Amino acid sequence: MNESPDSLMISALQHYAYCPRQFALIHVEQVWAENYFTAEGQVLHERVDSQEFEQRGDRRYERSVAVKSSRLGLRGKLDLLEIDGDTAKRYYPVEYKRGKAKTEDWDKIQLCAQALCLEEMLDATVNEGALWYWKTRKRLRVTFEDSLRQLTLEVIEAAKKILRQGCTPPPITDKKRCRACSLNDICQPQWFTHDRSGRYTKELFSS
């Protein structure tokens, strides 16, 4: 998981969007812990990570597609890329997730970053993609509107700032997210609510 601001894994953007502290613990301090949710997600991606392709009519399906952006300093892998047409090709990235659709943009940011990489690599416009959720067995169509693209660029820059500074920010205040996080025991967010050093860390990070 060695990360640098010049070569950031696309999947790390979802970590940052979920919780900047979680991102820093994984990608700066190099700590990791499994729980039920992460283990289930690993099993799901093992099933789709086949690197096989198939053709159905005019549509081609490519799996485990490596992508990168030199301009943004990103690299990663697409779970699935659907390609329509022979000459005027339409590219449609699909990301598999273990849970269900979220009201927040965490997963959409990761998918949008994949689209930005595809656009740079293929000199094409990628207008939309999809998130497929294991729990509901449904696709969520995602349109890469200007607002989502801008949010994704902001998350990329914010994540890279943490890598450059090498500083782990304080926990977020959303207890529900903390309970679902595999790093809860390592992070110990409750410690910050009872110790003024949490304020010091926050001031240090913002300076």
- Which CATH number belongs to the domain containing residue 65 in this structure? 3.90.320.10
Q: Which residues pair with 63 in a beta bridge?
A: 80
Q: Of 78, 158, 71, whose CA–CA distance to 115 is shortest?
A: 78
Kindly give the interhelix angle for 146-165 and 106-122, rounded to the nearest 10 degrees: 100
Alpha-carbon span 153 to 119, nearest angstrom: 14
Residue 172: per-residue pLDDT:
83
Is residue 86 situated within a structural domain? yes
Is residue 17 situated within a structural domain? yes
Name the domain count of the chain: 1
Whole-number average pLDDT of the chain: 83
Is residue 88 situated within a structural domain? yes
pTM for this model (two decimals)? 0.80
Alpha-carbon span 92 to 115, nearest angstrom: 8
Q: Which residues pair with 91 in a beta bridge?
A: 83
Residue 128: per-residue pLDDT:
98
- 88, 73, 81, 130: CA torsion to nearest 10: -100
Is residue 134 situated within a structural domain? yes
Is residue 57 situated within a structural domain? yes
